[in-house]
A and B are shown apart, each in its own frame.
Chain A
Amino acid sequence: KAGVTQTPRYLIKTRGQQVTLSCSPISGHRSVSWYQQTPGQGLQFLFEYFSETQRNKGNFPGRFSGRQFSNSRSEMNVSTLELGDSALYLCASSPTRDRGYNEQFFGPGTRLTVL
């Protein structure tokens, strides 16, 4: 079974631009979560989608948004990029969203650099 894939792997943008990152979950997984990883803040939860609905949201400004398609693929968008948005963005998929534990499988991440 193929793992979680994220595209692109590396991205360079300038301040003020917007960016869209893509995540394809493991086949059959319906939950997709996004995380931001930076040296200063560590790993922070952005949001989780299940069946095209955002079910959980972290503490990020509205510039960060996401969506999930009917095939469970997900995209996240960051508008009006700031230097501080430079980070590794990780996507993780889970098989279900039952209450309780659902193991998350992580993709390799997209490294975003904002100049």
Chain B
Amino acid sequence: AQSVTQLGSHVSVSEGALVLLRCNYSSSVPPYLFWYVQYPNQGLQLLLKYTTGATLVKGINGFEAEFKKSETSFHLTKPSAHMSDAAEYFCAVIAGGYQKVTFGTGTKLQVIP
């Protein structure tokens, strides 16, 4: 079975500050990991993904995440927050080679001017 835990349902940062959104996963097989962003009244947009290979993954809008197998983590970071980053972020995992995606409960990011 696979699962995802996102620490912190709400995170507030100041504009220009570091963004760190935490995600830990559980999977009995090598996972594929994702971060999605959802803006109000919209669907999900893929930010970045880890499948195999390099453990530091760069995505869109300046976000990146590092896959750490020993810590079973896939935290999302961005060096400098922008007002437009305010949204809800979901960590997700696919394990076992199917399209059944398990999502975390989401983290709402607030950016304070």
**Which residues of A approach B to under 8 Å, CB–CB?**
4, 31, 33, 35, 42-45, 48, 55-56, 58, 90, 92, 94, 97, 99-109, 111
Contact = CB atoms under 8 A, between A and B. Distances in A.
Given A56-B100, A101-B32, A90 B43 contact: yes
A106 B98 contact: no
Contacts of A99: 97-98
Nearest to B44: A106
B51 interface: yes
Interface of B: 32, 36, 41-46, 49, 51, 90, 94, 97-106
Given A43-B90, A101-B32, A56 B43 contact: no
A104 B99 contact: yes
B51 A104 contact: no
Contacts of B94: 101
A108 B105 contact: no
Nearest to B92: A43
10 smallest beta-carbon distances between A and B, as pairs: A106-B43, A43-B103, A99-B97, A106-B44, A42-B105, A101-B32, A56-B100, A108-B43, A48-B99, A100-B97
B103 A42 contact: yes
A45 B49 contact: no
Contacts of B32: 100-101
A92 B38 CA distance: 14
A31 B99 contact: yes
B103 A97 contact: no
* B46, B51, B101 interface centre (most CB from chain A within 10 Å): B101
B101 A104 contact: yes
Nearest to A105: B46
